[in-house]
C-alpha cells in the first residue's frame, strides 16, 4: 500500500457474505467483531481483524471509527420506478386501475423541462439515505428521464442499471413511443451510457400489455444485439393483467410464452413479480435462467398476491428482491425484507436474518450478475458500503437488550429497521451520507 493519500479504512463490526446461507449455512457469512475495511482508490484493498490490519496501514491513511456499528456492503434494489416517487401511497386501486388513474398521469410529467432532473436528485438522495448504492431502475418513456438519472448517478459515481420504458399502446398518447422510436431511442442510450463509468443499461419493455408485438420484437432485437445489457419487465402480477395479456396474445401458451417468443426471457432478464405462475412458466424461467424479482411491499399494497419463494427455489429459478417504488411503499431494503418475511409466513415459509441480509447484498448482486463488482466486502470489490446502527431507535435499543446472539440481533434489524438505522453510506469509498 503505497498511495497513502487515497487510502481510507473503516473500523467496525464487518458483516458480508461469500455464499448463500440457505445452502451453505454459517459458512456463508463472514463476521469480524472488531474489523477493518481498507479502501484504496474506491476499491476494497483488504478486510479483516483491525488488530492485524492497522499496523499495515501507511502513515497518513485515514481511519474512520464506526464502532460499534455494523459495516456491510451497500444494499441493492433490483426493481423500482424513478417516475413514481410521487405516485407512492396512492389510495385504493389494484394494478390496472392504479396504472391508469395515478401512474400514467404522473409519468407524463417527465416530459416537462427540469422534472426528470429534479426526480433524479431526489431519487439518489433517498436511495443513499436508505443505504442502497445500486438500483435497477425503470425511467419513463422519455429518453431524457434516463439521461437525467445517469447524469446524476455519474456525478455521484453510483452504480445504476436503468432504461427507458418502451410502451406503444394502451397508455395515454403522451406516454407512448413507437416500435421504431422505442428501438432507436434505447439504442442511442445504450451507445451513450452502457458501461460508461458505473452506469449500465437495461432494455425496458414495460409489460406485454403496453407493447405491440412489433415493439416486443424490437426489444428482442435489442436484447440479441446487446447480450450484456439486462432486460427488465413485469409478469404475472395481477389476475386482471394476466387475463388481458391472454386476450392480446391468444396464440401464446401463457404470459411467459409471450416474452419467450420475442427473445426476452434470458439469464439477464429481471422479471418483476412472478406471483401467479403456472408450472410451465416456472420451468421456462428455470431453463432460461431468468430472474424472478420479488417486490414484497408492492405486492401487499396493490393486493397482488403472495410470491412463493420456496417454489422458485424448488424450480431452480433465481430470485432477486426489490422495493418496486411507487407500487411499493418503502425505499428501505430492510423494510422490504421485513414484509418479505410476513409474506412467507402467510405461506408457512420462513426467512432467517442472514438469508434476508444476503438477499439485499450478495444475493441481488448474483442475480444481476454483478457479484464480481458489488455486494461483498471481499478485496477487489467496489467499496459501496452501508454503516448500520441496529440500536438507532428507542424500541430497537430496548429490544436489543434481550438478544442472545448475532442472528437474533440481525433479525431485530431486519424486522424493525429502516433508514433511521443507516448511520452512513459510502460510494466507491467516498462518504455519500449524511451529506
CB of 293 to Zn ion, least distance (A): 8
Q: Give the Cβ contact number of residue 394 at 10 Å.
A: 8
User: How many whole angstroms separate alpha carbon 297 and alpha carbon 78?
Assistant: 14
Minimal distance, residue 14 CB to ligand GUN, in Å: 35
Q: How far is the CB of 312 from Zn ion (least distance, A)?
A: 18
- Residues in contact with 240: Cβ distance below 8 Å, sequence separation at least 6, in sequence order: 94, 95, 96
Yes or no: say if 252 and 258 are a contact pair by the CB < 8 Å rule.
Answer: yes
How is residue 382 annotated by DSSP?
B
CB nearer to Zn ion: pick between 182 and 272:
272
Contact between 160 and 202 under an 8 Å Cβ cutoff? The reply is: no
With CB cut-offs between 5 and 8 Å by kind, which of Zn ion, ligand GUN, none does residue 281 bind?
none
Q: Which does 237 bind (CB under 5 to 8 A by kind): ligand GUN, Zn ion, none?
A: ligand GUN
Residue 230 interacting partner from ligand GUN, Zn ion, none (CB closer than 5 to 8 Å by kind) = none
- Whole-number Å distance between alpha carbons of 310 and 97: 30
Binding letters toward Zn ion, positions 231-270, x by CB under 5 A: ----------------------------------------
Instruction: In angstroms, give the least distance from the CB of 407 to ligand GUN.
Output: 32
Strands 430-433, 422-427: pairing kind: antiparallel
Residue 142 to residue 106: CA distance in whole angstroms? 13
Find the binding residues for Zn ion in span 392-431 (CB under 5 A): none
Q: Between 72 and 95, whose beta carbon lies closer to Zn ion?
A: 95
* Least distance (Å) between residue 303 CB and ligand GUN: 11
Chain residues that interact with ligand GUN, rule: CB under 6 A: 81, 95, 99, 103, 206-207, 234, 237, 298, 324, 327
- Beta carbon nearer to ligand GUN, 7 or 141: 141
CB of 87 to ligand GUN, least distance (A): 8
CB of 81 to Zn ion, least distance (A): 6
Q: Mark 350-389 with x for binding to Zn ion (rule: CB under 5 A) and - for no binding.
A: ----------------------------------------
Task: Kindly report whether the peptide bond that precedes residue 70 is cis, defined as omega within 30 degrees of 0.
Answer: no
Q: Which phi-psi region, left, alpha or beta, contains residue 289 (left: φ > 0; alpha: ψ -120 to 50)?
A: left
Separation CA 50–CA 302 (nearest Å): 47
**Residue 33 CB neighbour total at 10 angstroms:** 13
Is residue 382 within 8 A of residue 418, CB to CB? The reply is no
Contact 110, 139 (CB under 8 A): yes
Judged by beta carbon, residue 50 or residue 321, the one nearer ligand GUN is 321
* 324 counts as binding Zn ion under rule CB under 5 A: yes
- C-beta closer to Zn ion: residue 324 or 418: 324
Phi, psi (deg, nearest 5) at residue 220: -65, -40
Residue number with CB closer to ligand GUN (194 or 273): 273
Residue 288 is placed in which grid cell? 432460461
Distance of CA 7 to the CA centre of its chain: 29
Do residues 70 and 388 make contact, with C-beta atoms less than 8 angstroms apart?
yes
Q: How far is CA 15 from CA 8, 72, 376, in A?
A: 18, 5, 9
State in angstroms the smallest separation of the CB of 272 from ligand GUN: 6
In terms of Cβ atoms closer than 10 Å to its own Cβ (0-12, 13-18, 19+), residue 252 is middle
Partner whose footprint covers residue 156, from ligand GUN, Zn ion, none (CB < 5 to 8 Å by kind): none
Q: Which is nearer to ligand GUN, 37 or 171 (CB)?
A: 171
Quote the least distance from Cβ 322 to ligand GUN, whole Å.
10
Nearer to Zn ion, 131 or 272 (CB): 272
Residue number closest to ligand GUN, CB atom:
327
User: Is 211 in contact with 175 (CB distance < 8 Å)?
Assistant: no
- Choice between 107 and 308, CB closer to Zn ion: 107
Dig out the grid coordinates for 339 from the structure: 414484509
Apex CA 365: angle with CA 425 and CA 281, to 5°? 135
What does 429 interact with, of ligand GUN, Zn ion, none (CB < 5 to 8 A by kind)?
none
Q: Which stretch binds Zn ion (CB under 5 A): 29-37, 166-174, 272-280, 378-386?
A: 272-280
Q: Which does 66 bind (CB under 5 to 8 A by kind): ligand GUN, Zn ion, none?
A: none
Q: Which stretch binds Zn ion (CB under 5 A): 31-39, 61-69, 143-151, 324-332?
A: 324-332
**Minimum distance of ligand GUN from residue 237's CB (angstroms):** 5
Residues near Zn ion (CB under 5 A): 272, 324
Amino acid at each position: 500500500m503505497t498511495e497513502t493519500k487515497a487510502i481510507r479504512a473503516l473500523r467496525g463490526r464487518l458483516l458480508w457474505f461469500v455464499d448463500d446461507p440457505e445452502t451453505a449455512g454459517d459458512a456463508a457469512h463472514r463476521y469480524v467483531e472488531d474489523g477493518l475495511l481498507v479502501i484504496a482508490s474506491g476499491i476494497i484493498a483488504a478486510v479483516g481483524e483491525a488488530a492485524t490490519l492497522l499496523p499495515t496501514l501507511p502513515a497518513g491513511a485515514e481511519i474512520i471509527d464506526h464502532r460499534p456499528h455494523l459495516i456491510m456492503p451497500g444494499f441493492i434494489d433490483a426493481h423500482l420506478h424513478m417516475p413514481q416517487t410521487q405516485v407512492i401511497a396512492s389510495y385504493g386501486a389494484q394494478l390496472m386501475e392504479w396504472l391508469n388513474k395515478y401512474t400514467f398521469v404522473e409519468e407524463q410529467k417527465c416530459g416537462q423541462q427540469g422534472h426528470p432532473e429534479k426526480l433524479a436528485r431526489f431519487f439518489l438522495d433517498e436511495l443513499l439515505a436508505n443505504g442502497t448504492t445500486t438500483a435497477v431502475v425503470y425511467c419513463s418513456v422519455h429518453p431524457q428521464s434516463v439521461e437525467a438519472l445517469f447524469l446524476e448517478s455519474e456525478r455521484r459515481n453510483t452504480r445504476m442499471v436503468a432504461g427507458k420504458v418502451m410502451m406503444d399502446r394502451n397508455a395515454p398518447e403522451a406516454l407512448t413511443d413507437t416500435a421504431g422510436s422505442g428501438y432507436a431511442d434505447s439504442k442511442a442510450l445504450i451507445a451513450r451510457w452502457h458501461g460508461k463509468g458505473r452506469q449500465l443499461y437495461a432494455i425496458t419493455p414495460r409489460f406485454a400489455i403496453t407493447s405491440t408485438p412489433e415493439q416486443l420484437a424490437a426489444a428482442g432485437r435489442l436484447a440479441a444485439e446487446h447480450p450484456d445489457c439486462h432486460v427488465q419487465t413485469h409478469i404475472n402480477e395481477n389476475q386482471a393483467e394476466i387475463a388481458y395479456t391472454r386476450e392480446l396474445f391468444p396464440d401464446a401458451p401463457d404470459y411467459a410464452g409471450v416474452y419467450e417468443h420475442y427473445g426476452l426471457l434470458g439469464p439477464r432478464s429481471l422479471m418483476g413479480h412472478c406471483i401467479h405462475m403456472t408450472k410451465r412458466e416456472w420451468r421456462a424461467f428455470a431453463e432460461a435462467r431468468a430472474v424472478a424479482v420479488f417486490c414484497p411491499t408492492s405486492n401487499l399494497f396493490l393486493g397482488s398476491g403472495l410470491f412463493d419463494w420456496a417454489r422458485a427455489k424448488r424450480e431452480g429459478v433465481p430470485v432477486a428482491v426489490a422495493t418496486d417504488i411507487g407500487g411499493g411503499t418503502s425505499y428501505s431494503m430492510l423494510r422490504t425484507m421485513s414484509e418479505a418475511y410476513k409474506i412467507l409466513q402467510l405461506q408457512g415459509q420462513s426467512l432467517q436474518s442472514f438469508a434476508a441480509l444476503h438477499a439485499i447484498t450478495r444475493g441481488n448482486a448474483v442475480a444481476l450478475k454483478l457479484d464480481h463488482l458489488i455486494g461483498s466486502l471481499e478485496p477487489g470489490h467496489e467499496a459501496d458500503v452501508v454503516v448500520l446502527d441496529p440500536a438507532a431507535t428507542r424500541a430497537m435499543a430496548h429490544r436489543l437488550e434481550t438478544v442472545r446472539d448475532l442472528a437474533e440481533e440481525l433479525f431485530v434489524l431486519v424486522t424493525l429497521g429502516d433508514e433511521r438505522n443507516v448511520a452512513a453510506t459510502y460510494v466507491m469509498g467516498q462518504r455519500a451520507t449524511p451529506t
